[in-house]
Structure 1
Amino acid sequence: MYPENQTIGQQGYGRQYRMKLVIDSLAIVEHAEIDLDGITVIAGENNVGKSTLGKALFALVNSFSNVFSSPEEEVANALRLTFRRFYEEQVDIEENNGQSTLNFESPTNSTRISRAGFSFSLGGMARDMAKGLRFEATPASVKAFIESYHSTGMHKRIADKFKSFVREGDSQEFVARCVRILKLTDSSFSKAFSERTFGSVFDGQVSSRIIKAGNKPDICLVDSNGTELIRTTFNGDRCLESSSQLDTETRAILLDDPSVVDGLADDYRRMGRSLAMPKSTLQQLILESDENETLADFLLAEQDGQDFLSVLDTAYEGKLKQNHDHEWVLYGNRELTEPIKTSNSSKGSKSVALLRILVEENVIRRGDFLILDEPEIHLHPGWQIIYAEALVVLSKELGVRLLITSHSPYFIEAIETYAEKYDWTDKTGIYVSNVSKNGSVRYLRADEERKAQVFESMAKPFDILERTRAAKMFGDEDA
């Protein structure tokens, strides 16, 4: 269950567990068993569910990741809003120059407190109540906690007023709601987190829409012994069960569009800690990367990433930074009057700079998942092979698990070539699709013969062009 059981993971340290992603009846994917132990490449044509595999891994991990919120945080936030609504019903609210003030009047005097400051103080009370009374709350214990808290935490006149609200006022419904919130189970939050995360990532279409396909998606992450680390099961698009033993520090980042950095800070301020979508997750990790990290963490990350960054530098040395207006800009290797805003930069430049910032800012760490959806499409062929080498170094030297989808036989060949160069072949696997008659897809690990067939299929369009050119040159329309 969610946090009660021992978790499995690495906290950024220690050995890396071999994992396998197992999927049944999710969107177009009928079945897949994908090893995640270094570099995993999903090769194939369009419309065979390659992106589905990456989105599934992203949603599965982030349903439980502390990138967003834990059950206890959700309980505390629900209590804070409940406190605020109840207390504000008991007092007058004054508006002055856009500022809200709560007025606590009595026959002899009055005390005023800002609405924002009041809400902040209630947040502290909510967190303490969530820690102290969760799962064991009763109406009596909730009332006693509130009276005790107000006796020490606020101005006496306000505290007396609050205690009278709870003791003498119409507080039965308020107290009952607090008790119900405190008794919500971790399993109920787990199902809600998973349903909302998968629902947002797959836009509400979690189960297969293919006729006669399975309608009970099951997504599971297991270790090399077959022990379940995370499992989420659906009936249609509704989550039936969800549980995790994976360390909640484990991160999954999905990069499917380098333009994600455009307006990064503005979007994040507007959305805040929203649902686990690829853009909002990346935004939070980058913009809050220094909150839980020490200077030593950044120095060690810089040392560990030296080889990786040296490879990237051979393509592009540009760095993403925020200027004094909090806009994201690219500092490149040209002499400029001012840095170029990311919205005016090429997608290829942003692709390389985005990969760089994940390492330089210690956003991606050992044992985390980095999911790259067709990363080669915005890159010049020369940059493609540099990018491929950088990914191999990232996996081997920093211990990041990579799940890569690609249409390009040349990019995949570059991955394989550099895996051989860095002795990482045994940690590099290629998976290909097998489409059934009804259009659903199964994924299998490719042996050498199957890889050759897939590469030949992906390179076939170039053969068509060559034959077309030959026909034009030699006048043979049937060539």
Structure 2
Amino acid sequence: MRLRIQNFAKVKEADIILDGITIIAGKNDTGKSTIGKVLDSMYNSVNNLGAKMKNAKKLRLQNTVSQLMNYTEFSVHISFAMITEVVERVLEAKDTDSEKRVLEVFLDSIPNKQSRIERSMLIKELFDKIAEIKAIPDEVFTKVIISNYFNEIFNGNINNTEHSDTVAEIEIEIKAGKNSIQFQNDTCVDFHFEYNPVSSSFYLDNPMLIDKLNDTDVIRISGKYPSEQEYHLFNSLMGIEISMEERAINEIINQERLDEVFGLLDRVIPGEITYNQKYEYKTQKGKKGIDIRSMSTGLKSFAIIKRLIMNGSLNAKDAIVLDEPEIHLHPEWQMVYAELIVALQEKFDLNFIINTHSSHFLETLDFYAEKYGRKGICHYYLSKESEGVCSFEEVTDTPEKIYKQLVDPSLLLAKEKEMWEEEHEPI
């Protein structure tokens, strides 16, 4: 898989191979996080897009029918189930005559005191509202969904601020074909899909997100709902997006692979996330669980991965974006996390994209990739910034360029110490 980006935010151009483990290193504010966010948004904004559009229209139709019926004088209560049934029949109707017959049958089934004229007016109003919603072109709907998703993730800064009228383009290429999206003035102006994306992406930059499993009341009261990115991860952690039957099948198929991965996870997090009125972390020896919000930040990094595995949310070819995963981990746990990444890639055929500032973490990843025989699916990129725009150099064959940039700051400190000691050396 390849991700190509042109003129998106600060990224002037990028051509990134995503086929196993992709590592991006570079100084701050050189577009590293943008790559991961673009990939995540490209996956999740259009994943199951047809179903999303159908559900959105269905919900709008349900609300429309419900609101119109509330203005009429019916002698019986109209249940939401009845409204849902008539909406589903309207959506299945092949032509306008069929839609009108569905509405007429629906109204005939409800005893009312309306005159024939009032009834005809109601049918016409219902029909007009339904026609307006059904007439929304899929192309227009798709552009709005994509625009809204990307603008939320990138805070309205999709196109380069200096050249907002320039077309920004994203393209993902796999064996099945290419999917591309174009933006101008922070709005999706065109798209071309050759395949229906079914894989998911998980953007992990903040282990504290797992706290949201127990923060639903706070979210509801404050009105501060998570972003689409966080909402997707939240649902995946809860297992909402997969049925119990699918979870059981995944567990049976993946059992052998799970044993080895859990062997690594249990070195750090031997317990499980359980639910008893709230989500808790409980070890096998512990009699009482602790609220997941009380777990250490480093432990939460592992808990998120373990939770996604245990509830069957991870599938082959899914992408996991890790933005500076080392910052919450002790060097010893960094080693375990690096091995976990390589083991997960090997056992589950996942695609990882990792941003890092740590030479220790990078060296550890490098070692375990070689140990597991995965060196051939590792790709290295160095991000650079010049005159306000960013570019990416592939350095898979010359990774020393990354190490040099990561190690040089410590050498600068050594030189500064040496100069300071010379200046303050006793005479």
* Cα-to-partner distance string for 1:70-113 (whole Å, 9 max, x where unaligned): 2111121121111111111113xxxxxxxxxxxx23xxxxx345
**Separation (CA, whole Å) in 1 of partners of 2:213 and 2:118:** 44
> Which residue of structure 2 aligns with residue 249 of structure 1?
198
2:14 to 9, 29, 32: 32
* Cα-to-partner distance string for 1:393-425 (whole Å, 9 max, x where unaligned): 111110111111111111111111111111111
1:70 alignment partner, SS class? helix
2:92 to 128, 131, 135: 131
Map 1:129-208; keep pairs closer than 5 Å.
129-133=90-94, 137-138=95-96, 140-149=97-106, 156=109, 158=110, 167-208=119-160
Give, in angstroms, the shift of residue 248 of structure 1. Answer: 4.2
Map 1:231-246; keep pairs closer than 5 Å.
231-246=180-195
**Separation (CA, whole Å) in 2 of partners of 1:250 and 1:279:** 17
**Separation (CA, whole Å) in 2 of partners of 1:162 and 1:235:** 52
* Cα-to-partner distance string for 1:279-310 (whole Å, 9 max, x where unaligned): 10011122215526252322323333222221
Are the equivalent residues in 2 in contact too, given 1:196–1:275 (CA < 8 A)? no
> Which residue of structure 2 aligns with residue 96 of structure 1?
none
Give, in angstroms, the shift of residue 375 of structure 1. Answer: 0.8
**Percent of aligned pairs with the same amino acid:** 25
Give, in angstroms, the shift of residue 176 of structure 1. Answer: 1.5
Q: 1:299 to 1:163 in 2, by over 3 A?
A: farther
Q: 1:406 to 1:128 in 2, by over 3 A?
A: farther
Q: 1:291 to 1:424 in 2, by over 3 A?
A: same
2:261 to 304, 308, 311: 308
Q: Please identify, of 80-89 and 124-133, the stretch whose mean Cα deviation from structure 2 is larger.
A: 124-133
Are the equivalent residues in 2 in contact too, given 1:67–1:285 (CA < 8 A)? no
> Which residue of structure 2 aligns with residue 460 of structure 1?
408
**Separation (CA, whole Å) in 2 of partners of 1:183 and 1:368:** 34
For 1:176, the aligned partner's letter is D
Map 1:281-296; keep pairs closer than 5 Å.
281-287=232-238, 288-291=240-243, 293-296=246-249
For 1:299, the aligned partner's letter is I
> Which residue of structure 2 aligns with residue 62 of structure 1?
44
Q: 1:359 to 1:45 in 2, by over 3 A?
A: same
**Separation (CA, whole Å) in 2 of partners of 1:191 and 1:254:** 23
1:431 alignment partner, SS class? strand
Give, in angstroms, the shift of residue 320 of structure 1. Answer: 2.2
Say whether 1:21 aligns with 2:3.
Answer: yes
User: Unaligned 5+ residue runs, structure 1?
Assistant: 1-18, 92-103, 106-110
> Which residue of structure 2 aligns with residue 331 of structure 1?
282
Deviation above 6 Å: which 4+ runs of structure 1? 160-163, 472-477
**Separation (CA, whole Å) in 2 of partners of 1:306 and 1:163:** 70
2:310 to 347, 352, 360: 360
> Which residue of structure 1 aligns with residue 353 of structure 2?
403
Q: 1:163 to 1:186 in 2, by over 3 A?
A: farther
Give, in angstroms, the shift of residue 462 of structure 1. Answer: 2.1
Give, in angstroms, the shift of residue 212 of structure 1. Answer: 5.1
Say whether 1:122 aligns with 2:83.
Answer: yes
> Which residue of structure 2 aligns with residue 373 of structure 1?
323
> Which residue of structure 2 aligns with residue 389 of structure 1?
339
Are the equivalent residues in 1 in contact too, given 2:11–2:390 (CA < 8 A)? yes
Higher helix share: 2
**Separation (CA, whole Å) in 1 of partners of 2:368 and 2:125:** 65
* Cα-to-partner distance string for 1:311-370 (whole Å, 9 max, x where unaligned): 222233243222x21x2222247x556222122111100001111111111111101111
1:262 alignment partner, SS class? helix
- Give the superposed CA RMSD: 2.8
Are the equivalent residues in 1 in contact too, given 2:26–2:384 (CA < 8 A)? no
**Separation (CA, whole Å) in 2 of partners of 1:376 and 1:68:** 38
Give, in angstroms, the shift of residue 119 of structure 1. Answer: 2.2
Q: 1:67 to 1:303 in 2, by over 3 A?
A: farther
Are the equivalent residues in 1 in contact too, given 2:10–2:31 (CA < 8 A)? yes
**Separation (CA, whole Å) in 2 of partners of 1:389 and 1:162:** 71
1:250 alignment partner, SS class? coil
For 1:458, the aligned partner's letter is L
* Cα-to-partner distance string for 1:199-256 (whole Å, 9 max, x where unaligned): 11111211112x358732111111258x31x211111201102343444431111111
User: Unaligned 5+ residue runs, structure 2?
Assistant: none
Q: 1:408 to 1:131 in 2, by over 3 A?
A: farther
TM-score (norm 2): 0.89
**Separation (CA, whole Å) in 2 of partners of 1:162 and 1:368:** 56
**Separation (CA, whole Å) in 2 of partners of 1:311 and 1:202:** 35
For 2:46, the aligned partner's letter is F
Are the equivalent residues in 2 in contact too, given 1:67–1:281 (CA < 8 A)? no
**Separation (CA, whole Å) in 1 of partners of 2:114 and 2:280:** 50
Give, in angstroms, the shift of residue 275 of structure 1. Answer: 8.3
2:375 to 401, 408, 425: 425
**Separation (CA, whole Å) in 2 of partners of 1:86 and 1:360:** 45
**Separation (CA, whole Å) in 2 of partners of 1:430 and 1:235:** 30
Q: Please identify, of 235-244 and 365-374, the stretch whose mean Cα deviation from structure 2 is larger.
A: 235-244
> Which residue of structure 1 aligns with residue 170 of structure 2?
219
TM-score (norm 1): 0.80
- Alignment size in residue pairs: 420
* Cα-to-partner distance string for 1:371-395 (whole Å, 9 max, x where unaligned): 1111111001001011011101111
> Which residue of structure 2 aligns with residue 317 of structure 1?
270
2:60 to 78, 81, 95: 78
**Separation (CA, whole Å) in 2 of partners of 1:52 and 1:159:** 58
Q: Please identify, of 468-477 and 349-358, the stretch whose mean Cα deviation from structure 2 is larger.
A: 468-477
**Separation (CA, whole Å) in 2 of partners of 1:165 and 1:394:** 67
Q: 1:175 to 1:44 in 2, by over 3 A?
A: same
Give, in angstroms, the shift of residue 444 of structure 1. Answer: 2.1
Are the equivalent residues in 2 in contact too, given 1:143–1:166 (CA < 8 A)? no
